[in-house]
């Protein structure tokens, strides 16, 4: 059983912001796997698929970014998800815009959603896909930047990055080892 979580904020006003890259990418992954977001549980919107004999749950926490860990902890408990079967997709200010980086484990870095997940679950040994959002030309505080809308000129770049992240997440959901996913998509 796998749990693929995309981080973001649930309200319409945040749809096109940098902080919603995880929501977009997990939507791409779910679509590739034939899953649709139809129900709410454990403080998340969820979609389910069965791939290679395994159930896969795709989730978008509705707790807002800084409390994402609550939903992840609840989902992991409900579905008895082992840390090695959890993957989290999120925006990362520490990476240049449009870059996609996959890691098998790690710290939260500067990301409050990841801090929440690590704090709630006590885990760091789970896979993550980071979508770079930093723009060297923009000089505003991070909190304002991550909640600002992606510039129209940058839509294609971020759509491609989310698609790539979604493809990597779908490969993981289909049972591909995270090391292989890293080699293919990093």
pLDDT at position 139 over 90: no
Burial class (CB in 10 A: 0-12, 13-18, 19+), 124: middle
The pLDDT of residue 138: 85
pLDDT value, residue 162:
98
Q: Show me where the domains of the chain are located.
A: 2-185
- pLDDT, one tens digit per residue, over 39-88 is 999 999 999 999 999 999 999 999 999 999 999 999 999 999 999 999 99
- In this predicted structure, which of 57-66, 97-106, 118-127, 139-148 has the lowest mean pLDDT? 139-148
Catalytic residues: 19
List pLDDT tens digits, range 143-183.
899 999 999 999 999 999 999 999 999 999 999 999 999 99
| Residue 136: per-residue pLDDT | 86
The topology (CATH level 3) of 2-185 is Rossmann fold (3.40.50)
Starting at the edge strand that comes first in sequence, how are the strands of the sheet with 86-96 ordered?
39-41, 44-51, 54-61, 2-6, 86-96, 127-134, 100-103
**Does the pLDDT at position 23 exceed 90?**
yes
Mean pLDDT score of the chain: 96
Query: 3-state class of 160 per DSSP?
Result: helix
């Amino acid at each position: 059983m796998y749990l693929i979580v995309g981080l973001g904020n649930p309200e319409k006003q945040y749809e096109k912001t940098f902080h919603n890259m995880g929501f977009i990418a997990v939507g791409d992954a779910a679509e590739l796997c034939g899953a649709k977001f139809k129900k709410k549980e454990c403080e998340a919107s969820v979609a389910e698929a069965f791939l290679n004999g395994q159930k896969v749950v795709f989730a978008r926490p509705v707790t807002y970014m800084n409390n994402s860990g609550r939903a992840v902890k609840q989902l992991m408990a409900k579905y008895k998800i082992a840390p090695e079967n959890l993957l989290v997709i999120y925006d990362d200010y520490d990476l240049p815009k449009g870059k996609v980086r996959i890691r098998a484990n790690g710290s939260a870095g500067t990301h409050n959603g990841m801090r929440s997940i690590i704090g709630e679950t006590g885990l760091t040994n789970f896979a993550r896909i980071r979508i770079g959002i930093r723009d060297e030309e923009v000089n505003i505080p991070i909190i304002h930047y991550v909640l600002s809308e992606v510039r129209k000129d940058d839509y294609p770049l971020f759509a491609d990055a989310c698609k790539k992240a979604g493809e990597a997440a779908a490969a993981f959901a289909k049972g591909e080892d995270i090391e292989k996913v890293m080699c293919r998509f990093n």
